[in-house]
Chain A
Amino acid sequence: MNADKESDGKYAIAADASGGDTHHARFDAEETGRDTRAIEELRARNRYLEDIRKATVNILEDITESENELRKKTEELQKFRQAVDLSFDNMIITDDDGVILYANHAAEVMTGYRLDEIVGKTPALWGKQMSKEFYRTMWRTIKDEKQRYAGEVTNRRKDGKRYLTSVRITPILDDTSEQVKFFVGVGRDITEERKAQLQIMRHAAELETANASIAEQKNRTEAILRFLKSIGEGVFAVDAEGRIVFMNETAELMSGRLFNDVEHHPVADVFSFVREKQSVPEPFPIIEMTFSKKRTTAFPEQSFLVRSGKRIPISGTCSLIRDERQEVIGAIAVFQDVTKKHELDQLKDSFLSVAAHQLRTPLGSMRWSMELLLNGDLGELPDEAKEVLGQIYENSQRMTTLVNDLLDVSRIDQNRGHEEKKPVDLGGLLMDVVRTLSPEAEKHAVAISMALPSDSLPAIMAPPKHLYEAMENIVSNAIKYNRNENGKVHIAAEDIGRAVLITVSDNGIGIPKKDQSKIFSKFFRASNALLRETEGSGLGLSVVKSYIEESGAQVWFESEEGHGTKFFVKFPLVPTDS
C-alpha cells in the first residue's frame, strides 16, 4: 500500500505522524507550556489513531468490496464457462503457439477426443487434412496479421471419420494490442448440413433436368401432334376400347366431324368404312379387325369411307399402338383419299379397253378372213399360197396373244383381274388342259401322260378360268420348250394331306441357272427359250404366278438346263380368306 500517494485520498494519512511527532512536541514545548504540549500531543496521537482507524476501515471496506467483486467475477466466469461448456458450437482456446488450453464439451464430441487428450496438444491432433498452404494462410492471418479467420475445414475424428467444420478463429491480444495472447476457435460440424445442402442442390439440379426433359418431351410430343395434325393423310387413333383419342385435320375434313365433338366416342360412330367385293359393299371395321388380328391391317382395294351416304375411295392401314411392355393400348389408322387415283385408274381402264378393242378389231377380221381362205370357203388356194397364208395367220395370232397378254398384265397390276372363287375339280380341269393342248403336243411330237389318284381329288376353291389359264400355260410351256425327239410331259396330282400338289414335269431344254430367279418376271424369257421359240411375249409366267397366288396356291419349279423342268403347284385345302 502506498501511503505517499496524496492524490489517493482514501488511503491518505498524515505522512509524518509517527516520525514528525518529535518535531511538533519540541516546537510546542518551546512555544507553550508543558501541559499544553501534552494535550496537544495526545490530541495529535488521537488524530493520528483516528486516521489510522479510518484508513483501516477504508482498507477493510476495499477488501470486502474486492472480495465481492471477485466473487461476482468468478460467478460470471462460472456461468460463462458453463455456457461455453454446454454450447452447441465447439470452442477451443489455445495459447499463441496453438497449444490447447481449453476445449468445451462440444469439442470433445466433435473430435472424438477426451478433454485430457486434447489439452496440451495442438488442433493438428484432428487436423492435417487440408493442404499445407491452407494452414499456412490461416496461421498468417491469425498470428501475423492478427485478423480473424473464418472458413471451412475438413478434420478427422479420433475414429478416423472425416468431417467438415465451419470455424472462426479470433486472436485475443494483450493490453498493448501487439502480442497475441490466446486464440479462441469456435466451430461447428457442418458435415450433415453440407450433405443436406448438397442433396438439396442435387435434387434441385435433378428437378431442373427433369423439368427440362419434361418440357422437351412436351415440345416433341406437341411437334409430333402438329405433324400428325397437318399431315395430308387422314390420321386418327383410338384407345384400347376403340374410342377416339386423336384425329387430325384431314380426318376431320374427310369424316366431316370435329375432334372436339367426337373425342372418346366409339370409332364406329365417327368412321364408317366399307369395301366393295364383287360390286357388293360390305362393312370393313378396320379398327376391330386390327384388334382381333393383332397386327397391322390394310384397307383392301375398293375400300371407301362412307360419309352421309357419299363414298370416298380410300387406301391406308391401321396399326396397333403398344406401350413399353408391348401391351396393346390402342390403334392408329392412316388413310388417304384415292379419288384421283381411282379416276386415273378408270381412265387407264377405259383407255386399255378401247386400245384392246381397236387393236383386236382388225386382228379379228384378218383372222376370220384368213380362216375363210384357208378353209377354202372362197375357193381352193394353191398350196404355196396356203403355206404363205398360214404363216401370215400364225403371225396375226401372235399379235392377238400379245394384245391379250398385255391386257391381262395391266389388269393384274390394278389387282382387278379378280375372279370369284368356286369349287374346282382339279382332275377335270387338268384333263381339259391336256385335251386342249393335245394338237400342240402332237405338233411338237411330245407325249403327254397324266397320273391322277383313283379317288377323286378333294375339291379346291379357286377362280376356275384363271386357274385353267395358269395350268394351260404351264403345260403349254412344257410342250413348247421340249426336246426335238422323244419329248415327254408328265402331269401328276396327288393329295398330300391338307394340300393338293400338282407337278408338271418335262424332259425338255430346262431353265438356265442364271435365268431361274427371273422366270416369273414380266417380259422375261429365258435365253434358251428365246432361241427355241421366237414368239412369246414373256408375260405368260408372270400372269401364271398371279393367277396361282390368287387361288391361294403356291407355284415354284426345279430345273436343270438340258434335262428338263418340273413345275409344282400346291393348293392348301384349308380354305383361305382372300
Chain B
Amino acid sequence: METTCVLVVEDDPFYSKIYKTKLAKENIHSEIVGNGNEAIKFAKENKPALIVLDLIMPGKDGFETLTELKADPELRAIPVLVLSNLSQESDIKRVLDLGAVEYLVKANISIQEVVAKVRSYLPATQN
C-alpha cells in the first residue's frame, strides 16, 4: 500500500487542508508534511509513489529538498511534481534540471486538474 501513497510537501495551512480534503475525497492516499526535512524523513521510511512539492517553505525549501531527494539513490526514482506559485522561467528550468517531472503553477490550475495530474503519476491500480 505504501507505493500508492502521495506525499504532499506544503507549508501553507490553507493549501494543506485543501490537498487533504480533495485527495481524501478522490480516494487518493496521501500524507501532508510542512517542510523539507519531514518530507525526506517520510520518503525514506515510506517510499511514496509520488511527491507533490512546494518550493517556498521555511527551513529546507523545495529546491534543497528536491536536490537531496535526487541525490539519494533510494529516493531518486520517486517522481516529484512541483506545485508552486513561483513562475519565473529560471525557477522552472532549475527545478526541471534538478529532476522534477513537471512544474505547475498553483493559481493557474484548478484543483480538479491537480487531481488528474496526480493520478497520472500513480500506478494504474489506484485509478
Contact = CB atoms under 8 A, between A and B. Distances in A.
Contacts of A404: 87, 108
A377 B86 contact: no
Contact of A368 (B22, B84, B105): B22
Contacts of A349: 88
B14 A365 contact: yes
Nearest to A362: B14
A292 to B, nearest CB: 32
Interface residues of B, number: 23
Contacts, number: 68
Nearest to A279: B93
Nearest to B106: A364
Given A368-B22, A372-B18, A377-B22, A361 B111 contact: no
Interface in B70-85: 84-85
Contacts of A378: 21
A400 B108 contact: yes
Interface in B107-122: 107-108, 110-112, 114
B89 A357 contact: no
Give the one of B14, B85, B87, B107 with max A CB within 10 A.
Answer: B107
A356 B56 CA distance: 13
Given A365-B12, A377-B22, A371 B112 contact: yes
Interface of B is mostly: helix
Interface string A375-386: 101100000000
Contacts of B111: 367-368, 371-372, 375
How many interface residues does chain A have, given as a range? 20 to 34
A199 interface: no
B52 to A, nearest CB: 13
B85 A361 contact: yes
B91 interface: yes
Contacts of B25: 377
A168 to B, nearest CB: 101
Contact of B18 (A360, A368, A400, A416): A368
A179 to B, nearest CB: 120
Contacts of B88: 349, 352-353
Contact of A372 (B21, B84, B105): B21
A367 B21 contact: no
Contacts of A364: 15, 85, 106-107
Given A371-B110, A400-B107, A403-B107, A357 B18 contact: no
Contacts of A403: 107
B113 to A, nearest CB: 10
Nearest to A356: B87
Interface string B10-28: 0010110010011001000
A436 interface: no
A416 B114 CA distance: 28
Contact of A356 (B14, B21, B85): B85
A232 to B, nearest CB: 31
Contacts of B107: 360-361, 363-364, 367, 400, 403
A357 B86 contact: yes
B23 to A, nearest CB: 11
Contacts of A516: none
A407 interface: yes
A353 B91 contact: yes
Nearest to B14: A365
A403 to B, nearest CB: 7
A349 to B, nearest CB: 7
A449 B14 CA distance: 43
A362 B18 CA distance: 13
A115 to B, nearest CB: 111
Contacts of B105: 360
B102 to A, nearest CB: 14
A369 interface: yes
Nearest to A407: B87
A353 B86 CA distance: 7
A371 B91 CA distance: 27
Contacts of A367: 107, 110-111
A404 B85 CA distance: 11
B114 to A, nearest CB: 8
A417 B22 CA distance: 34
A361 B112 CA distance: 18
A317 B104 CA distance: 40
A375 B112 contact: yes
B7 to A, nearest CB: 19
Contacts of A407: 87
| 6 closest Cβ pairs, A-B complex | A364-B107, A360-B85, A360-B107, A364-B106, A365-B14, A368-B111
Given A369-B18, A371-B111, 11 more contacts: A357-B84, A360-B106, A361-B12, A364-B107, A365-B15, A367-B111, A368-B111, A372-B21, A375-B111, A403-B107, A411-B89
10 contacts: A353-B86, A361-B12, A363-B107, A365-B106, A368-B15, A368-B110, A377-B22, A400-B107, A416-B89, A417-B89
